[in-house]
Chains A and B, each alone.
Chain A
Amino acid sequence: MTGPSPLERAIETALTAGLAVSSGLLVGGLLLARPELLRWGTLLLMMTPVARVAVMSVGLVHKRDWLFALISLWILAVLGSSLFVALRMGLRI
């Protein structure tokens, strides 16, 4: 069995980066009782899977794996529409 592919490595990096920054903000927000840090930490945590799908889409396009690249872009569009619905409901970023 081979190790993780470059695409898998890139996905892992995106996830790890999102988690590291958001957990830092959340811990800071809890310790210092700063609501804006909690809000930013939560939003960043929510955006981590979106970043993961974006990295995956770019990676699949780069690999010319068109069918799965298209599927990945479709998922990104669904996430985008969810964010759009939230913004229409009054989400402040």
Chain B
Amino acid sequence: MSDPTAPLLILIGAGTGLVGALLGIGGGVFLVPLLTLAMGVPIRTAIAASLIAVIATASASATVNINRGLVNLRLGLTLEVATSIGGLAGGVAASLLTQRQLFVVFAATLAAMGLVMAVRAGRRNVIRDPDADPGMLGGRLQEGGLVYVYRVRRLGLGLVASLAAGAISGLLGLGGGIVKVPVLNAFCGIPFRVAAGTSTFVIGVTAAASAFVYYGRGDIVFPLTAAIAVGALPASLLGAHLSDRVRARSLKLMMSGVLIVVGALMALEGS
């Protein structure tokens, strides 16, 4: 291997892929700060690498989640419309913002979402009657031998969050899952695992819409990006398999803590 930092990058990719797949967020939220703060990678290079890693994580964990009924195709498609438009706009708008503004937007988004997750950690969104009507966009979820039903509420809010998630994705190299998963879970009535499964399914497309623009601008450093993606692919498969064994409340608290800490770190870097 020609690049001496490649093993470390593969390890970083694996760590972000694992946690990203567990939480349905792709992993860009960890990757961008790690690359910029710990390794001194320029932020646009880090964002481009992160978008590719998000595509890898999202696609790999979707292959596992789709078999488990954790991907709601109709809901995913509906959200994808808003997200992909936001993703394209965000990719183009990235060239208009300064590095400092990018850091501040990132930090504020993370901290706000972390607080929402912490406040909502104990609540569940399921109907225990398996024969209840899930509506056009809702669905059924099997957990511990029981079948639960969930319905989609406040779809408008979910669409607005998805548009914002898409724009943030293009600007900051995330899949946008950090915006979508908390909003879908906290406000739209979707169980955490389905929110995470559907989110990972959607964010691959969101990240791709932005990634093409970064590629066109020449922001992708291939050896760096490839090493991270090679680490992220197997680790995200593992993360998706493991998500069944961790309690939903623990997943939510894990996500909340990580968002607040990373948000604080990015705010410090931007100030």
Contacts and interface: CB of A to CB of B under 8 A. Distances in A.
B204 A91 contact: no
Interface of B is mostly: helix
A90 B218 contact: yes
A78 B209 CA distance: 8
B88 interface: yes
A27 interface: yes
Contacts of B204: 48-49, 52
B11 interface: no
B52 A42 contact: yes
Contact of B84 (A15, A23, A79): A79
Contacts of A1: 69, 140, 142, 147
B210 A82 contact: yes
A82 B77 contact: no
A68 to B, nearest CB: 5
Interface string B171-188: 000000000000000000
Contacts of A12: 62-63, 66-67
A42 B69 CA distance: 29
B220 to A, nearest CB: 6
B52 A49 contact: no
A8 B226 CA distance: 28
Contacts of B80: 71, 75
A61 interface: no
A30 B230 CA distance: 9
B230 A26 contact: yes
Contacts of B85: 78
B170 to A, nearest CB: 9
Nearest to A3: B67
B81 A91 contact: no
B42 interface: no
A68 B74 contact: yes
Interface string B187-219: 000000000000000001101111111011110
Given A49-B208, A52-B204, A75-B84, A27 B230 contact: yes
B122 interface: no
A29 B208 contact: no
A71 B213 contact: no
A7 to B, nearest CB: 7
B117 interface: no
A88 to B, nearest CB: 7
B216 A75 contact: no
Interface stretch (B28-36, B53-61, B97-105, B108-116): B53-61
A52 B215 contact: no
B78 A15 contact: no
Given A7-B73, A42-B229, A75-B84, A89 B205 contact: no
A20 to B, nearest CB: 10
B43 to A, nearest CB: 19
A90 B147 CA distance: 51
Nearest to B130: A1
Interface of B: 1-3, 6, 52, 55-56, 58-60, 62-63, 66-67, 69, 71, 73-74, 77-78, 80-81, 84-85, 87-88, 91-92, 140, 142, 147, 204-205, 207-213, 215-218, 220, 222-223, 225-227, 229-230, 233
Given A7-B73, A23-B230, 9 more contacts: A19-B60, A26-B229, A42-B226, A45-B52, A46-B52, A49-B205, A82-B208, A85-B91, A89-B216
